[in-house]
Amino acid sequence: MTLLKISKMGHPVLRRVAEPVPDPTVPEIRELVESMVETMTEVGGTGIAAPQVFESKRIFTFFVSGERAKAEAERLGISQEAEAGVPLTVLVNPEIEFLGNEIDEGWEGCLSMPGLMGKVPRHRSIRYRGLGLDGKLIEREASGFHARVVQHEYDHLDGVLYTERMTDIKSLIFSSEVGYQKPDE
């Protein structure tokens, strides 16, 4: 495994639609994912997409800690019992389907835009599917923070950064300043 360099906002790899992966079971893909996970862990991320490490492939990996899932459920006023942590997950050639029309706005950061955060509207509930590294289908429904993370990483595969989803650019701030925001801001 190797720590990988992270592409930053402005690099063309982050603007491209990533290429589908013909076979997720080949050793090269497993090695890429292992290095992505090591890189994500080293920099303290909760998700990373292949374009963020200069690989234009439809792959991302993420996890959701139980405490983060519960905190977001509490903030949104949804059932905390329904919001559990999600173990490390790798999705190859993922697809997303939005469930319902509820949209929540929440703070997001990005490894490709270090030090910045912005308020981003996202669908509250989604269904997603993709292949694991074993070639088997993974299909889940997600809400709250789990849904937000998957949508964020999926956007990277289509060349979209969270700033393009923001409705008010005034909420783009340095992450060190998030604590100064009023709850309704």
Q: Could you report the per-residue pLDDT of 129-157, keeping only the tens digit for each?
A: 999 999 999 999 999 899 999 999 999 99
On the question of pLDDT at 62 being above 90, the answer is yes
**3-class DSSP assignment, residue 56:** coil
Catalytic residues: 153
**3-class DSSP assignment, residue 34:** helix
- What backbone torsions phi and psi does residue 44 show, to the nearest 5 degrees? 80, 25
CATH code of the domain made up of 12-180: 3.90.45.10
Beta strands 116-131 and 137-143 are antiparallel
Tell me the mean pLDDT in the region 105-120.
96
Question: What's the chain's Rg over C-alpha atoms?
Answer: 16
**3-class DSSP assignment, residue 92:** strand
Q: How confident is the model at residue 84 (pLDDT cuts 50, 70, 90)?
A: confident
| pLDDT, averaged across the chain | 92
Nearest to 131 by CA among 14, 57, 25, 3: 25
Q: Which residues pair with 95 in a beta bridge?
A: 129
On the question of pLDDT at 185 being above 60, the answer is no
Q: How confident is the model at residue 66 (pLDDT cuts 50, 70, 90)?
A: confident
The CA distance from 110 to 40, in Å, is: 11
- State residue 82's pLDDT score: 56
The CA distance from 28 to 48, in Å, is: 17
Predicted TM-score of the model (pTM): 0.91
Q: How confident is the model at residue 8 (pLDDT cuts 50, 70, 90)?
A: very high
Report CA dihedral (67, 113, 15, 128) to the nearest 10 degrees. Answer: 0
On the question of pLDDT at 27 being above 60, the answer is yes
Beta strands 173-174 and 116-131 are antiparallel
The CA distance from 183 to 67, in Å, is: 19
